[in-house]
Amino acid sequence: MPFLGHLDIDKIHDASLNTFRAARRAEGRKTKTINLSVSAVRAVLNRAATLWRDDATGLALLERPPKFVETPVDDQRPPRPLTWDEQARLLEALPNHLADMALFMLNTGARDDVVVSLRWDWELSIPELGVSVFLVPEAHVKGRRSEKVLVLNTVAQSAVERMRGRHPENVFVWRRERKSITKKYKVPPMTYRPVETMNNTAWQTARRKAGLGDLHVHDLRHTVGGRLREAGVSQRGIADILWHAGGSMTSHYAVASIGELVRALELIKNPTGQLNKSILTLRAEARAKKLEQSVVHRPVDHASST
């Protein structure tokens, strides 16, 4: 609104957003974030030209929507998948409820916002497979394309079982533990509450304690994709697990097909001995090593040092 609020809707075009782009860039926003904001403006103007009508005339609010140029993304942070050793350090440093949520992500590939929102009434038990699946409503699916099936392996199921009975609605919850002042007067335990976000102070403290730098919660999802590829899971299987495939799994997936995805996820529940590093990670490490070697072997100018 500070940048466009003074303009009539038919006066908004790509150049109108240049000041907005520059201001967001000065705030340190990434190009992808800025593009997402611009896409919201584009969506509003597209609807003004196609769906929304003037009550008096019946005509569209815009004759035609303006075209917007998407800024090429050249500053996006590369994925940072975890090694098995790093995973162990992270889980040990996290509080119990966040460790269970991270373990769940690492064995399902679910997005963190889905894990935070997970509800018991979405759960569907499949006795034939010995695990549950969660039918996630389209409102909680990125892009809101359709309802999706979240498939669990036995490790993810164990994380769910540890949460069972704590809260009537939400799966992943937490409570502040408090100690009684004296043995005579015991303070009752606090009630469990839903987790609002995984990227909280406890997460940031744990990643620092584990020596994992700026590890993002979303990197756990990247880790799952890498491990599935290392395990030889087909691209279609990975797409179905990570919800990259179009359409609704509930409409065409039988229990047998979901069983194939469960078996695929079972392949990544234990350490494989592989490093699980991406090409981008290896390239960054190689550059850092080369820079370190150049500093170590740099000739010393004895004349200037004296």
Q: Give the separation between CA 133 and CA 115, rounded to whole angstroms.
A: 13
Among 63-77, 189-203, 235-249, which is the least confidently predicted range? 235-249
Pair 68, 93 in one domain: no
How many domains, in total, are found in the chain? 2
- For residues 71 and 137, membership in a common domain is answered with no
Based on the fold, state whether residues 65 and 91 are members of the same structural domain. Answer: no
In this model, does residue 250 exceed pLDDT 70?
A: no
Q: Same domain, yes or no, for 54 and 88?
A: no
Average pLDDT over residues 205-209: 96
Categorize the per-residue pLDDT at 41 as very low, low, confident or very high, splitting at 50, 70 and 90. very high
Q: Between 48 and 294, name the one with better pLDDT.
A: 48
pLDDT over 90 percentage in the chain: 58
Asked whether residue 142 is assigned to any structural domain, the reply reads yes
Same domain, 62 and 95: no
Alpha carbon distance 27, 23 (integer Å): 6
For residue range 257-300, list pLDDT tens digits in order: 888 999 999 999 988 655 555 555 555 556 667 777 766 655 55
Question: What is the tens place of the pLDDT at every residue in 117-161?
Answer: 999 999 999 888 889 999 999 889 887 678 889 999 999 999 999
Q: Are the C-beta atoms of 259 and 158 separated by less than 8 Å?
A: no
Is 193 found in the same domain as 251?
A: yes
Residue 63 has pLDDT above 70, yes or no: yes
95 shares its domain with 54: no
Residues 9, 45: contact at Cβ < 8 Å?
yes
Nearest to 210 by CA among 87, 112, 77, 102: 87
Average pLDDT, rounded, for the chain: 86
Q: How far apart are the first and last CA of the chain?
A: 61
Q: What is the pLDDT of residue 306?
A: 45
CATH number for the domain spanning 150: value is: 1.10.443
| Interior/surface letters 124-153, b for 16+ CB within 10 angstroms, e for the rest | eeeeebebbbbebeeebbeeeebbbbbbbb
In terms of Cβ atoms closer than 10 Å to its own Cβ (0-12, 13-18, 19+), residue 96 is exposed
Residue 305 placed within a domain:
no
For residues 117 and 52, membership in a common domain is answered with no
Domain holding 150, by residue range, is: 84-278
Which has the higher per-residue pLDDT, 32 or 94? 94
Confidence of residue 304 (pLDDT cuts 50, 70, 90): very low
Q: How many CA atoms lie within 13 A of 104 on its CB side?
A: 29
Alpha helices in the chain (DSSP H): 18-26, 31-50, 84-93, 96-106, 112-117, 154-163, 201-209, 219-230, 235-242, 249-252, 255-266, 279-296, 302-305
Same domain, 146 and 1: no
Residue 303 placed within a domain: no
Residues 6+ apart with CB under 8 A from 102: 90, 91, 94, 198, 217, 220
Q: For tokens 């050249």, what's the residue?
A: 74
Are 121 and 261 within one domain? yes
153 and 67 in a common domain: no
The pLDDT of residue 293:
73
**Confidence check: pLDDT of 77 > 90:** no
Residues 60 and 160 in one domain: no
Using left for φ > 0, alpha for ψ between -120 and 50, and beta otherwise, residue 142 falls in: beta
